Amino acid sequence: MRLAILDHGHSAGTKVLFALIRIASRQPVLDVIKLAKYRPDFLRLQEITHEAMRGPSTWSIADRELMAAFVAKSNQCEWCTRAHSAVAARASQDRDRIAAVLSDLESAPIEDALRATLRMLGRLTREHSVTPDDMRALLASGVSREQIEDALAVCFAFNITARLANAFGFAMPTAAAFESGAKYLLARGYR
């Protein structure tokens, strides 16, 4: 990572935790965990991410993980795109569906409401704004206000995390390490 403190600046207790993670997962500690465990008193992102991704919502966990991957891709963050593609694929048991959305949203075999929501999230992330007309079209497509707010919560969390991953220069781990992380996130969430 571009800041040495994020690799080596953790407390002694956190370093012990990292050693245990390495033993239990048989994988290196992911950079996102190193970030989350470095001064968690300052960067309090885990609670908001957990609420957006695992809190009550009519969007499934697989849908929200797909939104996270899509927002990451819209930020050109390969690390977060791969990480949350792995979680979405595991949650949905449909790796092809996730790959299709990330390859070409408009032709992907998904429900119209999810497609319209992802389209809005992509525009918001790339262009930094959306218009009332965009929202009117989304509501007209059958997406409820609550669903839009839930999607925006996911977008908020991952518009922060993807920027941090890009800025700090997260090292790309193996696919096996992302799979291990995905298994953990589905079992335990983001807290």
Partner 1 sequence: MADIKRARMALVQWILEGPGHALATERGAAFANAGLAGPLASLVDKVAKCSYKITDEDIAGAKAAGRSEDQLFELIVCAATGQAARQYDTALAALDAAADQE
Q: By the criterion CB under 8 A, which residues form the site for partner 1?
A: 2-6, 9, 38-39, 41-45, 47-48, 51-52, 55-57, 75-77, 120, 124-125, 128-136, 139, 145-146, 148-150, 152-153, 155-157, 159-160, 162-164, 166-169
- Torsion angles phi and psi, residue 56, rounded to 5: -60, 135
Residue 129 burial (10 A CB sphere; 0-12, 13-18, 19+): exposed
Cβ 126 to partner 1, closest distance in Å? 10
**Residue 122: how many CB atoms within 10 A of its CB?**
18
Nearer to partner 1, 102 or 180 (CB): 102
Q: Which is nearer to partner 1, 68 or 180 (CB)?
A: 68
| Nearest distance from C-beta of residue 8 to partner 1, angstroms | 10
Closer residue to partner 1, CB minimum distance, 20 or 43: 43
d(CA 170, CA 6): 10
Q: What's the closest the beta carbon of residue 81 comes to partner 1, in angstroms?
A: 11
Whose Cβ is closer to partner 1: residue 7's or residue 94's?
A: 7
Structure tokens at 20: 């245990």
Our CB check for partner 1 shows the closer of 100 and 113 to be 113
- Residue 71 CB, nearest distance to partner 1 (Å)? 10
HEC-encoded secondary structure of 45-114: CHHHHHHHHHCCCCCCHHHHHHHHHHHHHHCCCHHHHHHHHHHHHHHHCCHHHHHHHHHCHHHCCCCHHH
